[in-house]
Chain A
């Protein structure tokens, strides 16, 4: 598949924003026994705003994926069958509940804020699952057709959100920085293991469709001579990444370094340093952009069997 920047930015930004909210809500919920003072009001407000800004930026990026954004509201219609439609419903719901949580917390209504936070966390998890299932529900894209797809979206999103929370905490509320950096390490390790597992799985995949089943001629040696178009078509543009094997491998190695080892090192070196934790988040985010690019480039669509040669 051709990686679309709009979707890469949406899934990574929104994933980080969602993870940031979960990190924040966990801190306020755990801190509740110690009273409201456990997590300062201003810190909660800043994190809610940053979380909403990240998810909102992802939403704006995703709009560029549409041919007709002005009809985007129609996308809420088919939530019974379409994961994309479900995502379109859950995303604004999550943003509204997060904003409600932030407002109630700011106003000091901790009980109501906790209830809103629980609902927002549910919406957050649902949004991760919707985003992952958009890809995992397509049976033809065997690289995506695995529970690891939504699991990795959740784990990697939480890891980047926790990394962002650690950087913001080191800057604004140092007592929480160490805990966030530690949990970011754990979440990062889990996401990394999940992604390694999906890489190992995909390396052993055998394509179900062959040229023989694509055109229905039983012969092991079939080659295409003409695809019915001489200058390419939507089918040759949308479903091929068009990069060399070297580029794809370079992207894979860079995300394998940046998603976990580099930020983990930075987080371990300076669990209280805003600069190091900020650098860790930025490195991890860059790694996740590369990871998402590879996620798309790695998927081989069976329609490509019909578009192997131009003449």
Chain B
């Protein structure tokens, strides 16, 4: 079985929001209609987004870490939002594991958003239907696009390649290798939703140095402190050489 997913490398994300704008641009221009965008240049801008970059400060000054944290639908393997939908508008595709909303069946009751612990679903205030990340399902299978472009818009836009896209059920895929080799983890594992999207942790480059590595025993500058070499006439350990 295929389970498409994003793997987001928090070690590389610089929080530039390029994925957010690229996502909004692609998905507001699609067949399903626009994404609400009210007062974009006003005092209280608001609208529907599939993807948001949040920023967290870990620790206390001065030992703090800034973590930029892109958040979108995690396409859970056990999605709690799907069974609660009364109409079947929310569904998980068997062929590739993408969780989608059928905008023509959605009655806008918002129950699925209550059932998502991640806040990944946002209602469109104008179209009155629930919307969420589609993994750019209208893009990744589009034969009209060059093969290299058949990726979600956010992945295409990321300038630091912090976003990887692929099948996490294929052990040899780039995303599976990244999860395996770089400590990929899922969000809020306590709820058993088994998110397909994974995050790669911050990885600090650190080196441990022992004191004897700072003191070279053969440092030529310290030669004065050494005892003089024994003369050639003195007895040697093996009676052949002096040391």
Instruction: List chain B residues, Cβ under 8 A from A82.
Output: 83-86, 111
A126 to B103 CA separation, bound complex (whole angstroms):
30
Q: Please report the C-alpha to C-alpha distance between residue A303 and residue B185 in the assembled complex, in whole angstroms.
A: 18
User: How many positions in chain A have a CB within 8 Å of any CB in the partner chain?
Assistant: 58
In the complex, which of the residues B45, B67, B106, B114 contacts A68, with contact meaning CB atoms closer than 8 Å? B106
Q: Is B139 an interface residue (CB 8 A)?
A: no
How many whole Å from B92's CB to the nearest CB in chain A?
12
Inter-chain residue pair count (beta carbon < 8 A): 181
Check A243 for interface membership: any CB of B closer than 8 A: no
Contacts of A84 in B (CB 8 A): 84, 86, 109, 111
| Interchain nearest-CB distance for B11 vs A (Å) | 12
Q: How far is the CB of B126 from chain A (nearest CB, A)?
A: 10
- Give chain B residues whose Cβ lies under 8 Å from the Cβ of A215: 56, 67, 69, 187, 199
Contact residue among A67, A83, A222 (Cβ-Cβ distance under 8 Å from B109): A67
Contact with A along B11-33 (1 / 0, CB 8 A): 00000010010000000000000
A214 to B199, CA, bound (A): 11
Are A69 and B114 closer than 8 Å at their CB atoms?
no
Cα–Cα, bound, A233→B108 (Å): 16
B140 at the interface (CB under 8 A from A): no
Instruction: Find chain B residues with CB under 8 A from A233 CB.
Output: 46-47, 49, 52, 122
Q: Are A225 and B55 interface neighbours, CB within 8 A?
A: yes
**Chain A residues whose C-beta falls within 8 Å of the C-beta of B89 in the assembled complex:** 74
Taking a contact as CB atoms under 8 Å apart, the answer to whether B107 and A209 are in contact is no
Please indicate which of the listed interface residues B20, B39, B65, B111 has the most CB atoms of chain A within 10 Å of its own CB: B111
Q: A214-B187, A216-B199 are in contact. Are A223 and B108 (CB under 8 A)?
A: no
A88 to B201 alpha-carbon distance, docked (Å) = 44
Q: Which residue of B lies closest to A135 (CB)?
A: B114
Interface flags, A46-71, vs B, CB<8A=1, else 0 = 00000000000000000001111101
With beta carbons under 8 angstroms apart, the residue of A213, A214, A216, A234 that contacts B113 is A234
- Assuming the contacts A67-B107, A68-B128, A77-B86, asked whether A303 and B189 have C-beta atoms less than 8 A apart, the reply is no
Given the contacts A137-B84, A223-B57, A303 and B116 also touching, CB distance less than 8 Å = yes
Interface residues of A (CB under 8 A from B): 1, 65-69, 71-72, 74-78, 81-85, 88, 134, 137-141, 208-209, 211, 213-217, 219, 221-235, 238-239, 301-304, 306-307, 311
Instruction: Identify the 8 closest CB pairs spanning chains A and B, nearest first.
Output: A67-B108, A67-B128, A303-B119, A228-B52, A231-B44, A85-B86, A81-B83, A75-B86
Q: Can you name 18 A-B pairs with beta carbons within 8 Å?
A: A66-B108, A68-B107, A68-B129, A69-B107, A71-B106, A75-B87, A85-B87, A140-B80, A140-B115, A141-B114, A215-B187, A216-B201, A223-B57, A224-B54, A225-B57, A232-B44, A306-B119, A307-B119
